[in-house]
Amino acid sequence: MDKKIALAKVKPHLTNKRYVHTIGVLNTAVSLVEEKEIDIDIEAIRLAAIFHDYAKYRPAEELRNILQENGQDQFLHYGEEVLHAPAGAYLVRKELGITNEKILSAIFWHTTGKRNMNMYEKILYLSDYIEPNRSFPGVDEVREVAKESIDQAIVLALRNTITFLVNKRQLIFPETVHAYNDMLNQLK
Ligand code: DGI
Ligand code: FE
Ligand code: FE
Ligand code: FE
């Protein structure tokens, strides 16, 4: 699917601010791939970035039903924020006909991360975190580290996210902790 067509397809599903964020993720993902000369299907990364927040504004009830019907109950008890990623992967397949598993799994895991992330999952996870419109505490440090190492930057993003959730007394999706441990072990 052409980039222009993809952007036109996603736009009606997003707020203006979320559309601007999506363009930021797209540009960041492409820059990371180009600057680091990563051998990857750039078309797949583009589409993953463009559609990653496709389900962000669906009612939580709809997202929960989708996950339940697809045997993804493990996402149901960690707050509403984590639902749009796995349910989004389902919806872009069903409603937009995207079947490339690299695209779908990058979307599926973009909020929580996972163990053993492939390069598509890593690039989308990190780009979503550091794109220029983000202003979380600590994001500048993650941007700096990303210039040197994608893996080190992801560790930092996961650490910030876990710390943020702990401080807000929110539940932590277990796979987020597994992602953190796994990345740390691999960097040893
Ligand atoms: O959709 P975006 O805002 O672009 O970004 P995202 O999909 O990374 O979602 C970020 C939100 O998800 C943020 O509020 C923190 C939350 N989140 C990430 N990991 C977890 C989580 N929330 C819970 N409860 N548990 C997690 O493990
Ligand atoms: Fe998201
Ligand atoms: Fe994220
Ligand atoms: Fe996002």
Using H for helix, E for strand and C for coil, what is the string for the chain? Answer: CCHHHHHHHHHHHCCHHHHHHHHHHHHHHHHHHHHCCCCCCHHHHHHHHHHCCCCCCCCHHHHHHHHHHCCCHHHCCCCHHHCHHHHHHHHHHHHHCCCCHHHHHHHHCCCCCCCCCCHHHHHHHHHHHHCCCCCCCCHHHHHHHHHHCHHHHHHHHHHHHHHHHHHCCCCCCHHHHHHHHHHHHHHC
Q: What is the pLDDT of residue 43?
A: 97
Looking at the predicted complex, does its ipTM rise above 0.85? yes
**pLDDT level of residue 136 (50, 70, 90 thresholds):** confident
Indicate which residue's Cα is closest to atom 13 of ligand 1.
Answer: 81
| pLDDT band at residue 188 using 50, 70 and 90 as cut-offs | confident
Question: In testing the pocket of ligand 1, which one of 21, 53, 81, 126 has its CB within 8 Å of the most ligand atoms?
Answer: 81
Determine if residue 43 is left, alpha or beta; phi over 0 gives left, psi from -120 to 50 gives alpha, anything else beta: alpha
Domains of the chain with bracketed CATH: 3-187 (1.10.3210.10)
Percent share of the chain, pLDDT over 70: 100
Nearest ligand 1 atom to the CA of 129 is 8
The ligand minimizing its distance to the Cα of 168 is 1
Q: Which two tokens stand for residue 88?
A: 């989004």
Q: Is 81 in the pocket of ligand 1 (CB under 6 A)?
A: yes
Which residues have C-beta under 5 Å from ligand 4, the single-atom ion? 53, 128
Mean pLDDT, rounded, for 60-83 = 97
